[in-house]
C-alpha cells in the first residue's frame, strides 16, 4: 500500500491496518493483522472482568462491596435496556444483546488506550451485521412460519418482492457501515491531528478523544444494539 | 489521451472534496431533530430522558447518508481505486 496523500507530511503516523504475520491455509495466504491483535486484547480484558465478576458473585455478600456493586449495576442496566425495548421477547435475547453491547463498547473505547479500535475494520463490523441478519431471519422463520415470511415478502403486492428482498439485504450492510464509518472517522481525524499538528498537539487532543472515542463510541454502541433489538422484535411479532 | 498518476490523484482529491458535501443533509436533519427535541423538553420537562434517547437514536440513523459520502471520500483518498 503506497503512502497516503494526506499523511505525507508525517510519514510516521499511520492509521492503516497492517499484517503481523501470514500463513498458508488451503492454498490461500491468510494474514493475522493488527485488528486481530486488538480484538484479542479486548477479549482478554472482557474475559478477565468476567472471571473477577464470577468470583465476586460466588462469594456475594448481603451488603455488596464496590466490585459487586459495579457488576450488579452493569447487569441491571443491560437487563432494563433489553426489557424496555423487547418486552416479552427479552428473556431469550438478554445474553446476546448484553454480549455485543459490552464487546462493541470496549472496542470503541480501546482507542483511548492507544489501540486501533477493532470496530474501525469492516471485517469486524460486517461480522456483527451478519450475526444480526442471521438472528433476525432465524426468528422470523421460527415465529411467523414460512407462510408468514412469504406473506411479508409480498407485502402490498407480489410484484413488490424484489424490493422487499433488497430492503432485507440492506439491513446488515447499513448497520455495519454506520458503526464502521463512525469509528473510522474518529480514527482518521485523531491521526490527522497527531500527524499534521505534531508540534502543537499537547494535551488538547484529549478533547477529541473524549468526543470521538467516548461519546461517539457509546452512542454508536447504543444505536447498534437498539436497532438490532428493534429488528428482532419486529421479526418475532406475529399478527 | 494519456493521463499520468498525479493528474488522477488530483482529480480523486477533488472528487473526495465533492463527496463530503453529502454532510450538509445530515447536518440539517440532525439540527431539525435537536430543535424539535428541545421544544418537546420545554413543553414536557418530565420526559427529558425519553426524548433525549429517541433524539440520539434518530440522529444516529439520519447520520448514515453523510457517512456514506465520507466513505466514498476515504476510498478515493486512501484506497485509490482509479490509479492504474
Distance (Å, whole) CA A149 – CA A236:
11
Torsion-angle region of residue B74: left (phi > 0), alpha (psi -120 to 50) or beta? alpha
Distance (Å, whole) CA A231 – CA A96:
14
Per DSSP, what are the bridge partners of residue A210?
Answer: none
Residues in chain B: 84
Measured between beta carbons, which residues in chain A are less than 8 angstroms from residue B78? 4-5, 16
What phi and psi values does residue A196 have, to the nearest 5 degrees? Answer: -85, -35
Do residues A85 and A222 lie in contact, with contact meaning Cβ atoms separated by under 8 Å? no
Residue B11 CA, distance from chain mean position: 21
Interface check A5 vs B, CB under 8 A: yes
Q: Which value does ipTM take for this structure?
A: 0.79
| A contact test, residue of B59, B60, B77 with most A CBs within 10 A | B60
Per DSSP, what are the bridge partners of residue B77?
Answer: none
CB burial of residue A14 (10 Å; 0-12, 13-18, 19+): middle
Distance (Å, whole) CA A78 – CA A58:
20
In chain B, the domains with their CATH numbers are 5-76 (1.20.20.10)
Q: Does the pLDDT at position B82 exceed 90?
A: no
- Quick one: pLDDT at residue A6? 37
Q: How many CB pairs under 8 A join A and B?
A: 41
Element of type H or E holding A32: strand A28-33
CA-nearest residue to A226 within chain B is B57
Interface check B14 vs A, CB under 8 A: no
Q: Which of A4, A174, A177 sits opposite B78 (nearest CB)?
A: A4
- Quick one: pLDDT at residue A221? 92
CA-nearest residue to B83 within chain A is A2
Q: Which of B13, B56, B67 sits opposite A5 (nearest CB)?
A: B13
Chain A residues 156-215 within an 8 A CB cutoff of chain B: 174, 177-178, 181-182, 184-185, 188
List per-residue pLDDT tens for chain A, 239 residues long.
Answer: 333 333 334 456 677 777 778 888 888 888 888 888 889 999 999 999 999 989 888 887 778 788 888 888 999 999 998 998 888 888 888 899 999 999 999 999 988 887 888 898 898 999 999 999 999 999 999 988 888 888 888 878 888 888 889 988 999 999 999 999 999 888 888 888 888 887 787 788 888 888 888 998 999 999 999 999 989 998 888 76
Amino acid at each position: 500500500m503506497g503512502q497516503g496523500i494526506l499523511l505525507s507530511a508525517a510519514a510516521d503516523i499511520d492509521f492503516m491496518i497492517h499484517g503481523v504475520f501470514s500463513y498458508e491455509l488451503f492454498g490461500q495466504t491468510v494474514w493475522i493483522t493488527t485488528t486481530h491483535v486488538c480484538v484479542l486484547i479486548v477479549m482478554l480484558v472482557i474475559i478477565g472482568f468476567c472471571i473477577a465478576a464470577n468470583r465476586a458473585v460466588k462469594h456475594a455478600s448481603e451488603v455488596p462491596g464496590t466490585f459487586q456493586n459495579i457488576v450488579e449495576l452493569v447487569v441491571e442496566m443491560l437487563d432494563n435496556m433489553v426489557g424496555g425495548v423487547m418486552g416479552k421477547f427479552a428473556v431469550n435475547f438478554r445474553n446476546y444483546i448484553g454480549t455485543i453491547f459490552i464487546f462493541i463498547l470496549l472496542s470503541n473505547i480501546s482507542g483511548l488506550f492507544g489501540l486501533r479500535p477493532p470496530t474501525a475494520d469492516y471485517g469486524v463490523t460486517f461480522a456483527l451485521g451478519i450475526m444480526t441478519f442471521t438472528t433476525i431471519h432465524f426468528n422470523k422463520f421460527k415465529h411467523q412460519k414460512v407462510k408468514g415470511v412469504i406473506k411479508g415478502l409480498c407485502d402490498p403486492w407480489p410484484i413488490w418482492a424484489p424490493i422487499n428482498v433488497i430492503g432485507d439485504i440492506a439491513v446488515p450492510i447499513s448497520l455495519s457501515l454506520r458503526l464502521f464509518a463512525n469509528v473510522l472517522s474518529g480514527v482518521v481525524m485523531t491521526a490527522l491531528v497527531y500527524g499534521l499538528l505534531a508540534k502543537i498537539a499537547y494535551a488538547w487532543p484529549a478533547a477529541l478523544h473524549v468526543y470521538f472515542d467516548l461519546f461517539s463510541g457509546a452512542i454508536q454502541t447504543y444505536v447498534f444494539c437498539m436497532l438490532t433489538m428493534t429488528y428482532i422484535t419486529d421479526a418475532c411479532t406475529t399478527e | 489521451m494519456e493521463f499520468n498518476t498525479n493528474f488522477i490523484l488530483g482529480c480523486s482529491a477533488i472528487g473526495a472534496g465533492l463527496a463530503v458535501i453529502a454532510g450538509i443533509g445530515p447536518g440539517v436533519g440532525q439540527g431539525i431533530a435537536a430543535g424539535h427535541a428541545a421544544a418537546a423538553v420545554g413543553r414536557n420537562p418530565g420526559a427529558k430522558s425519553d426524548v433525549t434517547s429517541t433524539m440520539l437514536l434518530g440522529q444516529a440513523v439520519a447520520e448514515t447518508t453523510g457517512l456514506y459520502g465520507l466513505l466514498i471520500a476515504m476510498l478515493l483518498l486512501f484506497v485509490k481505486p482509479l490509479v492504474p
